[in-house]
Amino acid sequence: MLIRSRRRSEATRGEVTPRAIYDRRREFLRAGLGLGAGLALGVSAWPAPAGAALRGMALEYEPSPFSTDEALTSLDEVTTYNNFFELGTGKSDPHRHADSLVTDPWSIRVEGACENPGNYALEDFVNPWALEERIYRLRCVEGWSMVIPWIGFELNRVIEQARPESRARYVAFESIHDPENLRGQRRGVLDWPYTEGLRLDEAMHPLTILAVGLYDEVLPNQNGAPVRLVVPWKYGFKSIKSIVRIRLVEEQPPTAWNQSQPGEYGFYSNVNPEVDHPRWSQATERRIGAFRRRRTEMFNGYGEEVAALYEGMDLREHF
């Protein structure tokens, strides 16, 4: 692993770009090489493979007023106790098989009901946007939670850049599909690739971010490298990892867990201690690393920011 275990005590203000990527790209551009030239020479002259270029680099970011000041879950636990079914169904599988996720090269397609669709190399996708540290609670539907210092940017920036048409009402996300390398995808545990979705107003909400790092460093593979969604008021499975496609759509899109077990996993999946999972209570949770169980909060404690999105909706019906 190339992540460092130290944590920077202060975020750097003013430096809003992942500096190393930016410098590297400028160097490349200065060298006057482009895709065409690379192809003509028969060599790869395009910037170093995106995933590889990001890996092991310190990210520059700003702190955010949206961060919680609760105690952080240790880096060790954040990176060894994971759900990433593409890498296996056990909690330690994603860490153990992290290297089989190939993030190099990586591109992200933004498409659908929008005026400005695009196919982005990772560095072009991340570069134009300021990075922030967002320390969020993550509550898993299985009853455990963590507090994670993510580094990312608001998803609404990507959506604004795509210029959604007025008919766009939802956003659909898709993860990498690579059964050759991803052992989990050689089994039918889920209908691959992993998919997720949000209503457009949920996706535009400032709390919804795309994360490219955690604990100061580029996202480890097991946490969804090179780019994953984080929606802190929803159960963890909505925070889809290793995204390759973002699509603006008119109808509520199918999502992996809802398709697999519709009675257990709804489209909304807002953290809600009053609506139990059919097989267990959601009233309490175990914070990883802490001893006592704690009460689960409505919307995972983000109610002040997001409750208005669901005014007038029956959250038992729309679970």
Helix, strand, or coil (residue 207): coil
Q: Which is nearer to ligand MTE, 138 or 151 (CB)?
A: 138
Binding to ligand MTE, residues 43-82 (CB under 6 A): 82
- Work out whether 236 is an interface residue with ligand MTE (CB under 6 A): yes
- Work out whether 223 is an interface residue with ligand MTE (CB under 6 A): yes
3-state helix, strand, coil in the chain (%, to 5): 25, 25, 50
> What are the residues whose beta carbons fall under 8 Å from the beta carbon of 301, sequence distance 6 or more?
68, 137
E strands in 107-236: 107-112, 118-121, 132-139, 144-154, 170-175, 195-199, 209-214, 217-218, 228-230
Tokens representing residue 302 in the block: 């983000």
Of 204, 202, 263, 206, nearest to 234 by C-alpha is: 202
Give residue number: closest CB to ligand MTE: 236
| Dist. CA 56–CA 301, nearest whole Å | 33
Pick the piece of the chain touching ligand MTE (CB under 6 A) from 28-36, 84-92, 265-273, 291-299.
Answer: 84-92
Q: Which is nearer to ligand MTE, 152 or 236 (CB)?
A: 236
Pick the piece of the chain touching ligand MTE (CB under 6 A) from 26-34, 42-50, 83-91, 154-162.
Answer: 83-91
| Sign of the dihedral defined by the CA atoms of residues 232, 237, 238, 244, in that order | positive
Q: How far is the CB of 175 from ligand MTE (least distance, A)?
A: 4
- Work out whether 241 is an interface residue with ligand MTE (CB under 6 A): yes
| Dist. CA 234–CA 150, nearest whole Å | 16
Residue with the two structure tokens 């300021």 = 130
Q: Using the rule CB under 6 A, which residue among 83, 208, 258, 300 binds ligand MTE?
A: 83
Binding mask 184-213 for ligand MTE (x = CB under 6 A): ----------x-------------------
Q: How far is the CB of 98 from ligand MTE (least distance, A)?
A: 11
Q: Which is nearer to ligand MTE, 175 or 296 (CB)?
A: 175
Helix, strand, or coil (residue 267): coil
Q: Using the rule CB under 6 A, which residue among 240, 249, 271, 306 binds ligand MTE?
A: 240
Binding to ligand MTE, residues 136-195 (CB under 6 A): 138, 140, 175, 194
| Dist. CA 60–CA 7, nearest whole Å | 13
Q: Using the rule CB under 6 A, which residue among 18, 50, 59, 84 binds ligand MTE?
A: 84
Residues that bind ligand MTE (CB under 6 A): 82-86, 138, 140, 175, 194, 223-224, 236-237, 239-242
